[in-house]
Structure formats: structure tokens, C-alpha cells
């Protein structure tokens, strides 16, 4: 059984989670801007002979930031699903966010599943991608632009070092695009629904998980 708590504690948790969502959104938006601003500043400061290495650094940063953004987005999906299932549902049991999250992880471990690979029926898929597509395509656009600039620079400066750096950059671009393909907005969009499925299972099998 869930422990009955005063409404003010549930309201407090609701506000805390909403604040967390806001902070994550803000952080996700700020990071690409920081990378772009930092890259422009670095171009101005770095010596010309080392500027050839900048595309590799920038693509690496964009790849890391896209990975970070996807992970933050998945965390947001888990929180959004919890809010919908528990805090905005008068008939649901309430155990508290931290305790529920612990049981969420126990259920995943017990069932040995990957939440991000749960198949959602297209008819029931009312997934939410929000502003993720914008962030996603900004990363792809910047990465391709950086690669094109280096390619043009290499054509205009026929040197062996430039060719080697171009090859390494193209490899980095290839890795980036493979990862980006696997986390496209179409694949990320059902994540709230996927997490809703898991949360429902967690609360339905709470006592079973309690004995594990």
C-alpha cells in the first residue's frame, strides 16, 4: 500500500519536478550556444597553423552534446510520464519520486529491458518531441557545415597534413551521423509513452518488486 501523505507534499514534489524540467530545458538550449560562441572565440584566438584541427574538436563537442541532450531528453520523458501517471492522476498511489524511481530501475533490471526500445503501437503513439527536433537538426547542420568548410579549405591548400585531417574529420562526421540516425526525433518521440508503460507496470507490480 502507498503511504498517505498530505497534499502539500505532493504539490511540493510536483513543483520540484516541474522546476527540474525547466532547468533541463534551459541547459539543453544553452549548451549549443556555448559551443558555437566558444568555437567562434577559439577561431579568433588560435594560431593559424593549428586552426586546421578545429573541425575535429567542434564535431567532437557537438557529438558529445547531442549524446548529452538525448540522455537529458530521456530523463525528461521519464519525469513527464511520472507526472502524468502519478501526480496528475487522482486515483493513483503515491510513494514519492525517489522511491518510485528506485522501483522503476528495479523493474527494468528485473525484466531486463531497454525502455528506449519498447515498441509503441502507431495508433496509440501520441508521443511528444517538443523542441528536440530543432536542437537535433542544429547539431547536424553545424557538423555538416564544419566538414564542408574544411573540405573547401583542403581543396584550396593541397597539403598532406590537410588531407589527413580531412580524412579524420570525415570519419568523425560518419560516426556523428550514425549516432544521429539512431536518435532521430522519430525514434525519440515515443519516449514519454514508453515510460508511461513502464510506470504503469511498476505500480501494478509494486509488491512483487518489494520482495526482490
Predicted confidence pLDDT, tens digits, the chain (212 residues)? 444 555 778 888 999 999 998 888 888 888 888 888 887 777 777 776 677 788 888 889 899 999 999 999 999 999 999 999 998 887 788 888 999 999 999 999 888 888 888 887 765 555 666 778 888 998 999 889 888 887 787 777 767 777 888 888 889 999 999 999 999 988 888 888 999 999 999 998 888 777 76
pLDDT at 182: 93
Dihedral of the alpha carbons of 133, 135, 141, 142, in degrees to the nearest 10: -170
pLDDT at 186: 86
User: What is the rounded distance in angstroms from the CA atom of residue 141 to the CA atom of residue 39?
Assistant: 15
pLDDT at 66: 93
User: What is the rounded distance in angstroms from the CA atom of residue 31 to the CA atom of residue 69?
Assistant: 9
Helices (H), 50-159: 54-82, 97-111, 132-156
pLDDT at 1: 47
pTM above 0.75, yes or no: yes
pLDDT at 212: 63
pLDDT at 101: 93
- Residue 197 buriedness (CB in 10 A; 0-12 / 13-18 / 19+): middle
pLDDT at 123: 55
Amino acid at each position: 500500500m502507498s503511504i498517505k501523505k498530505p497534499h502539500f507534499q505532493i504539490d511540493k514534489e510536483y513543483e520540484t519536478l516541474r522546476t527540474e524540467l525547466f532547468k533541463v530545458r534551459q541547459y539543453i538550449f544553452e549548451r549549443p550556444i556555448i559551443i558555437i560562441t566558444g568555437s567562434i572565440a577559439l577561431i579568433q584566438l588560435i594560431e593559424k597553423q593549428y586552426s586546421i584541427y578545429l573541425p575535429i574538436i567542434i564535431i567532437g563537442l557537438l557529438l558529445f552534446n547531442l549524446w548529452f541532450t538525448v540522455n537529458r531528453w530521456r530523463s525528461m520523458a521519464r519525469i513527464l510520464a511520472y507526472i502524468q501517471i502519478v501526480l496528475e492522476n487522482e486515483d493513483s498511489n503515491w510513494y514519492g519520486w525517489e522511491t518510485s524511481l528506485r522501483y522503476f530501475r528495479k523493474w527494468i533490471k528485473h525484466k531486463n529491458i531497454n525502455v528506449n526500445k519498447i515498441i509503441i503501437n502507431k495508433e496509440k503513439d501520441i508521443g511528444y518531441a517538443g523542441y528536440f527536433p530543432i536542437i537535433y537538426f542544429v547539431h547536424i547542420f553545424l557538423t555538416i557545415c564544419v566538414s564542408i568548410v574544411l573540405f573547401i579549405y583542403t581543396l584550396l591548400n593541397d597539403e598532406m597534413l590537410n588531407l589527413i585531417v580531412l580524412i579524420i574529420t570525415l570519419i568523425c562526421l560518419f560516426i556523428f551521423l550514425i549516432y544521429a540516425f539512431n536518435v532521430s526525433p522519430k525514434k525519440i518521440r515515443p519516449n514519454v509513452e514508453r515510460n508511461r508503460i513502464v510506470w504503469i507496470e511498476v505500480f501494478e507490480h509494486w509488491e512483487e518488486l518489494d520482495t526482490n
